[in-house]
Structure 1
C-alpha cells in the first residue's frame, strides 16, 4: 500500500513537532581537553591594509596540559592578527604541539574578541599520530586570556 500525501504530511508534522519543540533542541555538551600557555615573541606590525591593521606575533614556546593530552608548544607558528575599524581583533593562529608521547599536532585557531573583551576561538587539529588521531575529527572551542606576552587558552571539545 502506497502512503498518501495526507499520511506523509502527518508524519512530517509529528517529526517537526518533536525536533522543533518550544524548548528548542538539546544543546551540545563540552568536554574539557586542555589549557595551553603560549609565549609570544616580538610583534611585527605589518600595518594598516585594506582589511584592517595586521600584526604578526611569533610563537616562541609554551606548554599544554589536560586530562588526556599534555606536552609542549614548539617555537613554530604565530598569530597573524587583524584589528578592524571597530577594534575587534580576529585571531589567525597556527601552532605545533609535541605531546608527551612524541606525537606532533598542528593546531589552527580562528576567532575574535567580543564587545565585553572576551575572546573565543574555534580550533582544528591535524596529526598523523595513531595515538592522537581522534583529534583530526573533533570540533573544539577555546576561551582566550592574555597576560603580558603569555596567551592562555582553555579548550573544550564539543560533544553530543
Structure 2
C-alpha cells in the first residue's frame, strides 16, 4: 500500500534578519536566527523557543539547502528538539530583484523530532514531510508538517 500524508501541524517561525557569510566553496552561506513562534494543529500545540537557527546555502544553480535546529516546548512544559532539513528549488534572495512565481515555488523539508518518553514520544517514531510556504511576511516562515502514514 502506498503511503499517505496526514496534516499534523503548522510551524509558524519568527526570524531575525540573516547573517550573510558570502560565497563559500559550498555556495552562498547564511545563518538565519530563529527568535520564536508557535506550533498549531490537530496533533501538536507548542511554542517555538528563541535560540535556534537555519544554516542555509544557496548553490550556483539556484537551489537552496536548508538546515535548521531549534527547540519547541509544549503547553505542559515538555521540550522537543527539532531538526529540519530540506531543499528549495528556484530559490532567490529576497532582495526584490527577482521574485519566484507561486506555481514555481518548491520547498520541501524533512522535520525530525526528539523528545523524552511520554505523551509526545510518537514524534520519535514518525516520518514527517514539511511544506515550506512561500514567505509573504518579512522575518517569518510557515511550514505545514504532515505525518507519513
TM range (shorter): 0.7 to 0.9
Aligned-pair distance for 1:42?
2.2
Partner Cα separation in structure 1 for residue 142 and residue 120 of structure 2: 22
**Contact residue 62 and residue 89 of structure 2 kept, 8 A:** no
The aligned residue for residue 18 of structure 2 is: 43
Aligned: 1:109 with 2:80:
no
The aligned residue for residue 98 of structure 2 is: none
The aligned residue for residue 138 of structure 1 is: 126
Aligned: 1:155 with 2:145:
yes
Partner Cα separation in structure 1 for residue 76 and residue 117 of structure 2: 10
Equivalent residues in 2 for 1:69-148 (5 A)? 69-115=44-90, 116-145=104-133, 146-147=135-136, 148=138
Partner Cα separation in structure 1 for residue 56 and residue 89 of structure 2: 15
Equivalent residues in 2 for 1:51-70 (5 A)? 51-70=26-45
Q: How many residues align?
A: 134
SS of 2:113's equivalent in the other structure is: strand
Larger Rg computed on CA atoms: 1
**Contact residue 38 and residue 63 of structure 1 kept, 8 A:** yes
Quote the RMSD (CA, aligned, Å). 1.1
Aligned-pair distance for 1:114?
2.7
Partner Cα separation in structure 2 for residue 33 and residue 106 of structure 1: 17
For structure 1, the 5+ residue unaligned runs are: 1-25
For structure 2, the 5+ residue unaligned runs are: 91-103
**Contact residue 103 and residue 129 of structure 1 kept, 8 A:** no
- Output the TM-score relative to the length of structure 1: 0.80
Structure with bigger helix share is 1
Partner Cα separation in structure 1 for residue 42 and residue 129 of structure 2: 16
Structure of greater relative contact order (alpha carbons < 8 Å, 6+ residues apart): 2
The aligned residue for residue 4 of structure 2 is: 29
